[in-house]
Amino acid sequence: MDQRVQKILTLMRKDPKCELTLNEMAESVNLSPSRLYQVFKSEIGVPPTRYLKLLKMQMARELLETTFLSVKVIVAMIGVSDESHFVRDFKREYGDTPTKYRFRYLSKEVDMPEFRNQ
């Protein structure tokens, strides 16, 4: 993998709530924004800003599955400024709003066969 792309991935994973712009990412690896976009997309399959958004959605999904934090708190933790945009993006990515996703996920956890016969 291209070392510049690896550096960007490391930056994103280190702090997914950061608001790195394409210009800031490009500057950190001494590339133009358009060149970084090309290199990143060819290596990862999606543009850097899309990857960062997906990383945030994944982090939110994991928090919904493993904690009882409110959606509002999760939105703040992952560094999204607009809760309504987050809810819309989450629904587009996972098929349900964050609240419905959590409810369905927890319902599946409780509805395990080994608990039915007890």
**Residue 90 and residue 101 in contact, taking contact as beta carbons nearer than 8 Å:** yes
pLDDT tens digits along 68-79: 999 999 999 998
Rounded to whole angstroms, how far apart are CA atoms 12 and 30? 17
**pLDDT score of 54:** 92
**Residue 2 and residue 43 in contact, taking contact as beta carbons nearer than 8 Å:** yes
Q: What are the distances in angstroms from CA 9 to CA 25, 36, 44, 51, 99?
A: 10, 12, 10, 9, 29
Q: Dig out the tokens for 58 from the structure.
A: 């994944």
Rounded to whole angstroms, how far apart are CA atoms 56 and 52? 6
pTM of the complete model: 0.81
**pLDDT score of 85:** 93
**pLDDT score of 111:** 55
**pLDDT score of 75:** 94
CATH class of the domain at 3-110: mainly alpha
**pLDDT score of 19:** 80
Q: Does the pLDDT of residue 110 top 70, yes or no?
A: no
Q: At what angle do helices 33-44 and 48-66 cross, to 10 degrees?
A: 50
**pLDDT score of 101:** 95
